[in-house]
Structure 1
Amino acid sequence: MDALISTWDVALSYVPRWVKVVVVVLLIVNFRAFPLYWHCKVWWPAILSHIRAQIFGLLPYLSSLPSVGADWKTISSERSFVVLPDGLDFQLHMSNSVYARELDASRMQAFLHFFTPMFQAGCWIGLGSAHYVFYKELPPFAQYEIEVTIDSFDEKWFYICANFITRPKKRTVSSSIPSSPSGKDKLQLPPSPSFLHAPRPPLSRSNTPLPPTRSDGATVHAVSVSAHCFKIGRLTLQPALVLSYCGFGKEANWIRSLALVKAGKLQSCEFLRGGWKQEIGLMEEFDGRRNGAKGEILRDTLSQFR
């Protein structure tokens, strides 16, 4: 071993110092490309959730989730990122492939916020399709957020919307929100599909149609809409059942789910596999069609390519 180290030191002594510096800089700049980095980043929220459940107890942890008693149309999950050099394309903007890479981590965090009781019961979530719309580039070292929401659902699919946004600096908040155009200065824009727009807050259009600027001053750089379904084994679970089991809506939903968790995983599985049919009115409480224009447009559009 000592001989090997000595040989290595001798070999390195012939390498110019500037070459060593370049190699070290390249390794530092591209640290996110190291093996298992993506896996650690994506699975870190799940690991953290497991640790919290072990520390505080499973039932108290589940009861503290944002989904308990929440309205599925307003709940959201945010995660912050920075555009680093390893994610730039040849135009020195964030590469389109990085949007999908970072969204993986954001969706994992969002699904844990929204649907943890499903995973605890042994269910898993699958990705059926994804669509991206790019409005404006993200420059190097820009700080941005990925805001994930439940846009809508049908009998099988959840349509998850993710907004890539940047927020104005605090000192320029008042001046960064454009005023709504009026009169002759107003630009007449052609209608566009509603799923291309950020769902919350509403967008306000200025003379420049892209990128959209929200009422809170945030700029939307890109929007992703993806279709997901829950399964337990090979059985697909209806989104309304998933929302009810995760505690969305009325308080009775979470009281029932909490009782199932206490009874054990077997009881939860039996309920999800068909026991829920004995509960009258469970599916009628959640109607994804009321806010489902985005999901329906996406579903009809993507069906043309299948």
Structure 2
Amino acid sequence: MSSINPGPVPDPIVFPDYRLRRPLRVLSTPSLLAPYLPAILKSGPPALVQRIIAILLLFNIRSFPLFWHIRVFLPAVWARFKARPSIHPLLPWISSSKHATTQPGTSPALRLDALPLGKDIFNDVETYTCRAWPDDCDWNLHVSNSAYSRALDYARMSFLSSRILRFHFDGGWMALGGAALTFHKEIPFMAKYEIRMQVASWDDKWFYVLARFVSPAKGHARTRQAGVRKRSRSAQNLKAMLIDVAQPQGKPPVRPPKPDEEQEAGLQEGEVEQSLEGRTIYATAVSRYCFKSGRRTIPPWLVVATSGYGTFASTRSNWERAEGLRRNILSREQAKYQSKHGKAMPRDGIIEGGGHRKAGIMSVYDPARAEGVGKEDNRGLGAWQDKASWNLGEFEERRLRGLEEVRTIVGGVLPSSGSAALSISRS
């Protein structure tokens, strides 16, 4: 029986071709580099190469492992440290009595100047200064699209941590549910820019936060803007508070006549024009948050009502009512814990804990009772879970206006029928 010799087997078709692979394999053979390795290891890379590597590492240090986590979570931890009535934020375990704090019976005791008491939630604006570092920029030498979201992580956490601090100790947490970015103009390489954060609006589930990426204001322009902002807010707040003081406590304030409303709106729009005068708006972002306590969804109106925000006398009464609820619920839960476990309920730490936070007002919120207007809570706490029982009339008109602007203008967060430049004018 004869055998058939098929001849040499051809090389398979690969990329790169074997004609290129064979010389590369020879050049990379360790035996070829062995005579030179001691000299390379002894002398190291050339000085110029070392300088280039050091510069690259320095300019990209913000992309090192864990740097993002430190940058995002440090503002939240720092806000809680500063809220403790201690001799210094870095020594929170050494208490001090020189600070005005929340009333006894609520836990923990927080400094009143660390809470947004008496502030207008829509005019509470905070600015964060950033720079377009190399690790933020792409090959076109401007900030890449993804870098905007990374900068927003820091700004959003820093902005919200100090403003809903009371909500955190009430047993709640927040979750980011979406964000929409609109790019207007590029941020050049190494340029300094600012992120201006403010509350845009809220509905029965979502809380919307507005961020503007803008160029920094000049020194004289910044001083002039502060003066205009102070005068316009003083005029607006004085007129609104005079109307509100005349109303019976616990009732929503009567809306001022239409001409006065138009004048107030004009002041707000003029304030925005002054604050953004001479600046470049690089991008606009709207983020939506959902408030949670365990697996329960907490409506934003309850968070706002119990946070301390409000300039009207009727709105400020929400804070006293919320503090009373905190004392009643905590004392009741402490008694239940004592009878069940035979020991006192453990206190929470600065960052987290499973004691008093589990007895916060958000932890006992029942969404099923939210519709029972005027009905008493079966635990004797009143109808506090009903939206109509809180004084939020101060914010309602601007909340609806902001919600409509978010719904109509920004796509991706809410259904949108068109697009345009964001025009929310309350900063």
The offset of 1:37, in angstroms, is 0.5
Give the match's secondary structure for 1:11.
helix
Q: Which residue of 1 aligns with 2:139?
A: 90
Q: Which residue of 2 aligns with 1:189?
A: none
8 A contact 2:406–2:414 mirrored in 1: no
One-letter amino acid of the counterpart of residue 294, structure 1: E
8 A contact 1:77–1:113 mirrored in 2: no
The offset of 1:93, in angstroms, is 0.7
Matched, 1:227 2:292: no
The offset of 1:12, in angstroms, is 5.1
Q: Which residue of 2 aligns with 1:178?
A: none
The offset of 1:261, in angstroms, is 4.8
Q: Which residue of 1 aligns with 2:302?
A: 241
Q: Which residue of 2 aligns with 1:137?
A: 186
Separation in structure 1 between the aligned mates of residue 392 and residue 140 of structure 2, nearest angstrom: 50
**Cα distance per residue 1:52-87 (max 9 Å; x no partner):** 234536746452135212222211222111111221
One-letter amino acid of the counterpart of residue 115, structure 1: I
8 A contact 1:159–1:225 mirrored in 2: yes
Show the 5 A alignment for 1:1-306.
11=41, 13-56=43-86, 59=102, 61-65=110-114, 67-170=116-219, 201-203=271-273, 215-249=276-310, 250-261=315-326, 263=330, 264-265=356-357, 266-270=359-363, 272-273=365-366, 276-277=384-385, 281-282=389-390, 285=393, 286-287=395-396, 288-297=399-408, 302=413
Give the match's secondary structure for 1:79.
strand
Worse-superposed segment, 243-252 or 281-290: 281-290
TM-score normalised by length of structure 1? 0.75
**Cα distance per residue 1:136-155 (max 9 Å; x no partner):** 11112222111111111111
Q: Measured at CA, do residues 293 and 229 of structure 1 come closer, stay the same or move farther in structure 2, by a change above 3 Å?
A: same
Aligned residues: 267
* RMSD (Å) for aligned C-alpha atoms: 3.2
Worse-superposed segment, 282-291 or 162-171: 282-291
Percent identity between matched residues is 29
Gaps of 5+ in 1: 1-6, 175-198, 205-213
**Cα distance per residue 1:28-52 (max 9 Å; x no partner):** 1110110011111111111212322
Gaps of 5+ in 2: 1-36, 87-94, 96-100, 103-108, 224-268, 331-355, 370-376, 378-383, 417-427
Q: Measured at CA, do residues 304 and 248 of structure 1 come closer, stay the same or move farther in structure 2, by a change above 3 Å?
A: closer
Worse-superposed segment, 272-281 or 136-145: 272-281
Give the match's secondary structure for 1:292.
helix
Q: Measured at CA, do residues 256 and 105 of structure 1 come closer, stay the same or move farther in structure 2, by a change above 3 Å?
A: same
8 A contact 1:148–1:160 mirrored in 2: yes
One-letter amino acid of the counterpart of residue 65, structure 2: P
Higher RCO, Cα 8 Å, sep 6+? 1
Q: Measured at CA, do residues 281 and 107 of structure 1 come closer, stay the same or move farther in structure 2, by a change above 3 Å?
A: same
**Cα distance per residue 1:190-213 (max 9 Å; x no partner):** xxxxxxxxx895459xxxxxxxxx
8 A contact 1:260–1:267 mirrored in 2: no
The offset of 1:256, in angstroms, is 2.7
One-letter amino acid of the counterpart of residue 148, structure 2: Y
One-letter amino acid of the counterpart of residue 256, structure 1: R
The offset of 1:279, in angstroms, is 8.0
**Cα distance per residue 1:96-149 (max 9 Å; x no partner):** 111110111100111123211111222111112111111111112222111111
Give the match's secondary structure for 1:295.
helix
One-letter amino acid of the counterpart of residue 60, structure 2: N
Q: Which residue of 2 aligns with 1:183?
A: none
